């Protein structure tokens, strides 16, 4: 702490703390006195708050003690309750009443408060998500509801205990929702009473973790994964019927293939990239092998072979788009009679 002009920073959050840090680097010793007033003596790094709530991070690791990083700044653990800027006086509330603190320059960085939307019941039952205390309370609340659901005597009570509502879909809301959902799903593994038993999902409708790609990855909605998920799921169903244990789905993607017209394509198979005719042949071979039933494969091979020997048809079968057109015309003739033909002059 130095002498000279007094600079008061109201708020020790991310903006206030970094302002003080920068001033410590820019100002010479004794050139000014920098003060930070905040009701908390630490800064909360809010982008990691959701992970702290989900238990991925230790709560102490997402907060930064102000006194630990501000070595030449006076940290005042108090709330700036009011400011008389004309007199250059701020009033600080620290539990013992408001006390005046003089300053020469003022920096306002108080942050913000949670926005309370006009939703019935939100003020009575809701909780914010801006502080480390709120994050830990939310985590404990979710885990407590899992305990309540596990011991519930009715399906309705269990459903109510496992229903959570997030009001707001900004960054904080979406991140908190995602992290707490993952935490709840992991925790459900320890609650056999809550196991979503006898129900399975695969293919495009299911969010299947891609264990081969690492944490946080999901299997893309492709036929390749659907085929292999079906094999694993069938094996798991058979194992469960016989008293066994299901195995997780794990498959490293073989790659992807795409046709770009006759004799042209792109492909990447097990890291090998191809284009042109080889990729086109790989595309056809792969999908031919995956096509169900030998009869269907023979039909497709026959069509492909004929397409190589003869030019493709260019006839537009527009009747397929209006299949009832001729039938409706015939009905009109029956109802109104045949159309009257006007003869040419002199042929009456």
| Chain segment 223-244, per-residue pLDDT in tens | 778 878 888 888 888 888 888 8
Considering the domain architecture, whether residues 20 and 47 belong to the same structural domain is answered as: yes
The CATH number that applies at residue 48 is 3.50.50.60
The β-bridge relationship of strands 89-93 and 98-102 is antiparallel
Considering the domain architecture, whether residues 40 and 90 belong to the same structural domain is answered as: yes
169-177 long-range Cβ contacts below 8 angstroms, 24+ apart: 171/47, 172/46, 172/49, 172/50, 172/129, 172/130, 173/129, 175/47, 175/49, 175/50, 176/49, 176/50, 176/53, 176/129, 176/135, 176/138
Considering the domain architecture, whether residues 232 and 294 belong to the same structural domain is answered as: no
Asked whether residue 175 is assigned to any structural domain, the reply reads no
pLDDT for 74? 95
Rg (CA), the chain: 35
Question: Of 155-159, 175-179, 254-258, which range is least confident?
Answer: 254-258
Average pLDDT on 107-128 reads 84
Asked whether residue 188 is assigned to any structural domain, the reply reads no
Considering the domain architecture, whether residues 16 and 77 belong to the same structural domain is answered as: yes
Residue 27 — pLDDT band, cuts 50, 70, 90?
A: very high
pLDDT for 71? 93
Q: What percentage of the chain carries pLDDT values higher than 90?
A: 21
Asked whether residue 13 is assigned to any structural domain, the reply reads yes
Considering the domain architecture, whether residues 65 and 97 belong to the same structural domain is answered as: yes
Measure the CA–CA gap between 91 and 77, rounded to whole angstroms.
13
pLDDT for 79? 93
Considering the domain architecture, whether residues 33 and 89 belong to the same structural domain is answered as: yes
Asked whether residue 341 is assigned to any structural domain, the reply reads no
Average pLDDT on 124-149 reads 88
pLDDT for 37? 95
Q: Sign of the C-alpha dihedral, residues 169, 171, 173, 174?
A: positive
Average pLDDT, the chain: 83
Considering the domain architecture, whether residues 240 and 263 belong to the same structural domain is answered as: no
Asked whether residue 91 is assigned to any structural domain, the reply reads yes
Average pLDDT on 48-55 reads 84
Range of the domain at 76: 6-108
Q: Sign of the C-alpha dihedral, residues 34, 38, 43, 46?
A: negative
Residue 164 — pLDDT band, cuts 50, 70, 90?
A: confident
Evaluate whether 80 touches 40 at the Cβ level (below 8 Å). no
Where does a domain end: 251, 266, 281?
A: 251
pLDDT for 108? 93
Considering the domain architecture, whether residues 213 and 263 belong to the same structural domain is answered as: no
Q: Whose CA is closest to 235, among 212, 211, 202? A: 202
Measure the CA–CA gap between 111 and 132, rounded to whole angstroms.
15
User: How many angstroms separate the Cα of 113 from the Cα of each of 110, 126, 127, 144?
Assistant: 9, 14, 12, 26
Asked whether residue 81 is assigned to any structural domain, the reply reads yes
What is the tens place of the pLDDT at every residue in 311-331?
766 555 565 567 777 777 778
Considering the domain architecture, whether residues 247 and 274 belong to the same structural domain is answered as: no
In the predicted structure, residue 310 carries a pLDDT above the cut 90: no
Considering the domain architecture, whether residues 11 and 30 belong to the same structural domain is answered as: yes
Backbone angles phi, psi at 112, to 5 degrees: -145, 170
- Return the H-helix or E-strand segment holding 100: strand 98-102
The residue with greater pLDDT, 85 or 339, is: 85
Considering the domain architecture, whether residues 231 and 280 belong to the same structural domain is answered as: no
Average pLDDT on 147-170 reads 86
Count up the domains in the chain and report the number: 3
pLDDT for 281? 87
Considering the domain architecture, whether residues 23 and 74 belong to the same structural domain is answered as: yes
Cα 13-15-19 angle, rounded to 5 deg: 115
Asked whether residue 184 is assigned to any structural domain, the reply reads no
Asked whether residue 265 is assigned to any structural domain, the reply reads yes
Average pLDDT on 31-38 reads 94
Q: Hunting for tokens 């006390």 — which residue is that?
A: 99
The residue with greater pLDDT, 204 or 141, is: 141
């Amino acid at each position: 702490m130095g002498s000279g002009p007094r600079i008061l920073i109201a708020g020790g959050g991310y903006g206030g703390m970094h302002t003080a840090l920068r001033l410590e680097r820019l100002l010479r010793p004794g050139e000014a006195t920098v003060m930070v007033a905040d009701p908390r003596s630490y800064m909360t790094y809010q982008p990691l708050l959701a992970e702290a709530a989900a238990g991925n991070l230790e709560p102490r690791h997402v907060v930064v003690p102000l006194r630990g990083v501000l070595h030449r700044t006076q940290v005042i653990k108090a709330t700036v309750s009011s400011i008389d800027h004309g007199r250059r006086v701020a009033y600080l509330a620290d539990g013992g009443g408001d006390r005046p603190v003089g300053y020469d320059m003022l920096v306002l960085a108080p942050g913000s408060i949670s926005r309370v939307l006009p939703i019935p019941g939100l003020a009575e039952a809701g909780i914010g998500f801006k502080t480390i205390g709120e994050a830990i309370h939310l985590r404990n609340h979710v885990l407590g509801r899992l305990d309540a659901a596990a011991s519930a005597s009715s399906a309705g009570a269990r459903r109510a205990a496992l229903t959570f509502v997030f009001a707001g879909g900004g960054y904080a809301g979406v991140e908190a929702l995602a992290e707490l959902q993952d935490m709840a799903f992991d925790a459900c593994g320890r609650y056999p009473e809550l196991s979503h038993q006898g129900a399975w999902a695969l293919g495009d409708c299911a969010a299947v973790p891609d264990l081969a790609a690492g944490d946080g990855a999901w299997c893309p909605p492709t036929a390749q994964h659907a085929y292999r998920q079906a094999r694993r799921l069938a094996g798991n169903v058979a194992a469960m019927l016989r008293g066994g244990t299901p195995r997780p789905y794990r498959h490293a993607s073989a790659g992807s293939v795409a046709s770009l017209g006759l004799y042209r394509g792109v492909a990447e198979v097990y890291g090998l990239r191809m284009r042109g005719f080889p990729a086109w042949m790989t595309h056809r071979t792969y999908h031919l092998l995956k096509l169900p039933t030998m009869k269907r494969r023979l039909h497709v091979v026959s069509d492909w072979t004929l397409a190589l020997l003869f030019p493709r048809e260019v006839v537009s079968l527009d009747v397929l788009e209006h299949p009832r057109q001729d039938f409706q015309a015939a009905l009109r003739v029956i109802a109104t009679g045949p159309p009257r033909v006007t003869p040419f002059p002199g042929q009456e």
